Amino acid sequence: MRGEGFRASLAVHARCMLGEGATWCARTERFYWTDIEGARLYRYDPSTGERTSWSMPERLATFALCADPHRLLLGLATHLAFFDLTTHEMCRIVDVDSERETRLNDGRCDRQGRFVFGTKHEGAKLSPIGGFYRLNHDLSLEKLPLPEPAISNSIGFSPDGATMYFCDTPTREILACDYGADGSIGNIRVFTRLLDADGGPDGSTVDAEGGLWNAQWGGSRVVRYGPDGVETERVSVPTSHPSCVALGGPHLATLYITTARSELDPALLAAEAGAGGVFVASSARRGLPEPLFLGR
């Protein structure tokens, strides 16, 4: 059943140029996200309304919670690094794809605590020259045997960890593959195709029932697909560019949605006052605690 009546409301008027990386920390009950183009990391405490932010040395595309609650794994435009939230110390881990005209983009940890992420082409004319990578527990970096994307997105994992989801946004398809506990990959297939004429698949999260929630850039919506790839619900977002989603709150039943102001002309910016903010909607589905990066 499609939830046509669900509509998200503005929770944080952040005015991000490119809000992304929606992440709920169940340990602290706080919401994290990034403004990629603003090179800034944000944290929001919904119980108090307090908002904290940190300036980054370059664009912050993606990140992951770590086993150490005071540390994040950062996916900056050109490299991976650890960041201490208390001391603000940055520890570089490894450069990524330095020979190509790409930057890091979407990422999530798998159920084994390894960080899986993708890159996107930075050229004026998009070409599928990006890649999907995994940072292992020993901090070794490997490229995954997946199709090269122009814009990697929608990375997520089924509750049992045996299925990985991912996409190349311009294709308007979300793919799935078998994903072994040892990191092996096989049986790449189409999970779902976007049927609406507008919108492309952006960031995703997977709920406790195995449903995939996808923010659809240009479509003013978040859509949930069941494990069979069939749409079950959708949430209307009152701005054109929803970018990423997370299920959070005390019962992991609040949908948090990041959005962007980039690519909106002045007329749309005037009409969409909340563009670049964080929106929320109640959900009948519950999420899963965000997997932690377990490497050191």
pLDDT average, residue stretch 180-201: 96
| Model-wide pTM > 0.75 | yes
Q: Could you list the active site residues?
A: 202
Binding site, by residue number, is: 20, 103, 105, 153, 202
pLDDT average, residue stretch 95-111: 95
Share of the chain above pLDDT 90, in %: 94
Phi, psi angles (nearest 5°) of residue 162:
-85, -10
Does residue 3 form part of some domain? no
Does residue 2 form part of some domain? no
Does residue 296 form part of some domain? no
Does residue 112 form part of some domain? yes
Alpha helices, DSSP H only, in 179-238?
Answer: none
What's the total number of domains in the chain?
A: 1
Which tens digit of pLDDT belongs to each residue from 235-253?
999 999 999 999 999 999 9
Closest CA to 214 of 160, 196, 292: 196
3-state DSSP call for residue 269? helix
Which pLDDT belongs to residue 99?
87
CATH of residue 106's domain is: 2.120.10.30
User: Which residues span the domain enclosing 207?
Assistant: 9-282
Which tens digit of pLDDT belongs to each residue from 31-85?
999 999 999 999 999 999 999 999 999 999 999 999 999 999 999 999 999 999 9
Does residue 17 form part of some domain? yes
Does residue 164 form part of some domain? yes
Contact 107, 117 (CB under 8 A): yes
Residue type, 30: R
Binding site for substrate, by residue number, is: 103, 105
Does residue 287 form part of some domain? no
Does residue 289 form part of some domain? no
